[in-house]
A = this chain, B = another copy of it.
Amino acid sequence: MATNKAGTSQDNVFHKTRRDHSNEIAEDYVEAIAQLHSEDGACRVTRLARRLGVSHVTANRTVARLVSRGLVTTSPYQPIELTDSGRRLARTAKARHEIVIDFLISIGVPAEIATADSEGIEHHCSPETLKAMKHFSNTRNH
C-alpha cells in the first residue's frame, strides 16, 4: 500500500482517496480500541470484532498489522494495548469524528443518521474542511 509510485505520474485527487483506505481502517480500529478501553478497562479481540462488525479473525489479522505499524501492542491471549502513537491517533480520530457528527447535526441531519454518515465521512475531511465544520457548529450551537 505504501508502494505508491504509480506508473501514471500525475497525482490526482483520486489517488489520495484510494491510498487512504487502509488508514481509515487503522483509524477505526484504534478508535474502537480506545473506546473499549474506557468502557471495559481492556480491549479483547472478540469485543473489538463485534464492535467493528467483523469476524474475530479479521480483527486479529488487522490488529497484527497495527502492531507492525507501531500503533498497538499485543501478547498472546492478552488484551490489546495502544502505543503512545496509537493513542494519539485514536484521540485525533475521535476528535474528528465528533466534529463531523456535531456538524451534521447542526445542519439538520437527524442524530442517528449523522452518526452513521460520519463513520464514512470523517476519514475524508481535510484540516480545512474540519476547521470550517467546527467553526460552523460553534457559531451556531449556542
Contacts and interface: CB of A to CB of B under 8 A. Distances in A.
Contacts of A14: 28, 52-54, 119
A55 B7 contact: yes
The quantity of this chain's copies bound in the complex is 2
A129 B104 contact: yes
Interface stretch (A63-71, A76-84, A87-95, A131-139): A131-139
A109 B123 contact: no
A16 interface: yes
Interface of A is mostly: helix
Q: Which of A11, A50, A53, A124 has most chain B Cβ within 10 Å?
A: A53
A104 B132 contact: yes
Contacts of A18: 53
A1 interface: no
Interface string A43-79: 0000001111111000000000000000000000000
Given A52-B14, A55-B6, A113-B129, A135 B108 contact: yes
Interface of A: 6-8, 10-18, 20-21, 28, 49-55, 104, 107-110, 113-117, 119-121, 123-126, 128-129, 132-133, 135-136
